[in-house]
Amino acid sequence: MDDILKNIARCVETGKIDKASPYPPALKGQDGADELTRMALEEKIRPDEILEKALIPAMEAVGERFSRKEIYVPQMLMAARAMNGAMKHLKPFFQSGEAKRKGKFIIGTVSGDLHDIGKNLVSMMIEGGGWEIIDLGVDVGPDKFLKAIEENPGAFIGLSALLTTTMENMKKTVSAVKEKHPGTRILVGGAPVTQEYCDRIGADFYSPDPQGAVNYLKQILV
């Protein structure tokens, strides 16, 4: 099992999407994140194990190499594509929650921010927890969130940010939503976000990971 997880992680780190992808040249003709993830599932490796032991550590390694200037944006983008190649196989498992919907959850990555892997993971897990997801995508400003709340009264809101610069835009969205719809519950997350920041901007809940958000929504309905 360890071998296949290591190989998946290697594919994500090096941006090897699938067998057909010519990048990186050293892995030409070999299986990529897509095929290996499918095989891992066939070998009955649990989807959460593939995520936690291969995909997330690989993306962390990519981030560290980017920080050290050993790789640049194109390589990061290839890594993200390889991660998505693996995620498409895991998605159905995370989404197979109870059929009856518990409520609506509007989610988006805040203005100026194009990172969506974490947001998509959170969406999948919450959807798996039985919620209907309204995914507004990336680079979402306060107006778009307000419009979505008006169209879906009573929905919960989830904001994701990956950059210290765009994290500030969370505050604008939280203020706009709380001013117009004071009862709306807002969850925040993303690598630079902290509990302290959540409290400071007046959001309702911070979670460092998707499961924390799922648990919060679960206990709120009790």
18 vs 105, which CB is nearer to ligand B1M? 105
- Is residue 115 within the footprint of ligand B1M (CB under 6 A)? yes
Pick one of 45, 190, 214, 217: the residue that binds ligand B1M (CB under 6 A): 190
Structure tokens at 219: 């206990």
- In DSSP notation, 40-109 reads HHHTT--HHHHIIIIIHHHHHHHHHHHHTTSS-HHHHHHHHHHHHHHHHHHHHHHH---SS---EEEEEE
Q: End-to-end distance of the chain based on CA atoms, in angstroms?
A: 39
CB 167 within 8 A of CB 193: yes
160 bridge partner residues: 109, 189
- Is residue 36 within the footprint of ligand B1M (CB under 6 A)? no
Give the footprint of ligand B1M on residues 55-74 (CB under 6 A).
56, 59-60, 62-63, 66-67, 73
- Is residue 204 within the footprint of ligand B1M (CB under 6 A)? no
- Is residue 141 within the footprint of ligand B1M (CB under 6 A)? no
Contact letters for ligand B1M, residues 75-114 (x by CB under 6 A): -xx-xx-------------------------------xxx
Query: What is the distance between the alpha carbons of residues 153 and 155, in angstroms, rounded to a whole number?
Result: 6
**12-20, 29-37, 39-47, 162-170 -> range binding ligand B1M (CB under 6 A):** 162-170
Three-state secondary structure call for residue 121: helix
- Is residue 13 within the footprint of ligand B1M (CB under 6 A)? no
Q: List residues near ligand B1M by CB under 6 A.
A: 56, 59-60, 62-63, 66-67, 73, 76-77, 79-80, 112-119, 121-122, 158-160, 162-164, 187-192, 207, 209-210, 213
